[in-house]
A and B are shown apart, each in its own frame.
Chain A
Amino acid sequence: AQSVTQLGSHVSVSEGALVLLRCNYSSSVPPYLFWYVQYPNQGLQLLLKYTSAATLVKGINGFEAEFKKSETSFHLTKPSAHMSDAAEYFCAVSDLSGNEKLTFGTGTRLTIIP
């Protein structure tokens, strides 16, 4: 079964600094991978997804992620953090059996320091 591991339940960065949120996957076949963001008291919103096309995926709000098969990773980055980026970020992997099941990581809370 596919799974994802998010390293670091809390990450703090200064405003304007690089954001790096880590996600490693476990899958016996090339997976479909997603990053979702949850702002306080809201539902989840898709940031970006990897579906076996380009390995560097660009998403909304200046975020991007690179699929690295050799490292089984799909880390999320943003060159310059904004205060509005403060949120909970979830990495997820799609079940390839065709039932659209997403398995989420445990989440990383991103705090932006002014």
Chain B
Amino acid sequence: DTAVSQTPKYLVTQMGNDKSIKCEQNLGHDTMYWYKQDSKKFLKIMFSYNNKELIINETVPNRFSPKSPDKAHLNLHINSLELGDSAVYFCASSQFLAGTDTQYFGPGTRLTVL
């Protein structure tokens, strides 16, 4: 059983399009995250939700909108895609433990904007 799953694994699209990436976790965790990993492997948090409430919202263009329909899902919608959005996007989940929790990562979605 996959603990944190993401779909799609690969996403190739044209500039200006709108796309969504879905994430699901079956670990029963209460916190979920989206990270962006650029071409140099630098990993940076974008958003996190705890019990469906947004708790981290880093400096991310408002073209990116996360949505958490329930504790097990956190989707990422991106409007008006730009070349610079090309990256690998990772979803992660954890059980809130005041900074000590282990985050479990999905396999990633490689987004290529042409």
Contact = CB atoms under 8 A, between A and B. Distances in A.
Interface size class of A (residues with CB under 8 A): 20 to 34
Given A32-B99, A94-B99, A99 B105 contact: no
A95 B98 CA distance: 9
A36 B31 CA distance: 18
B103 A46 contact: yes
B48 interface: yes
Contacts of B96: 100
A65 to B, nearest CB: 15
Nearest to A97: B99
A44 B90 contact: yes
Interface residues of B, number: 28
Interface string B53-81: 00110000000000000000000000000
B103 A102 contact: yes
B43 interface: yes
Interface string A89-102: 01000111011111
A42 interface: yes
A64 interface: no
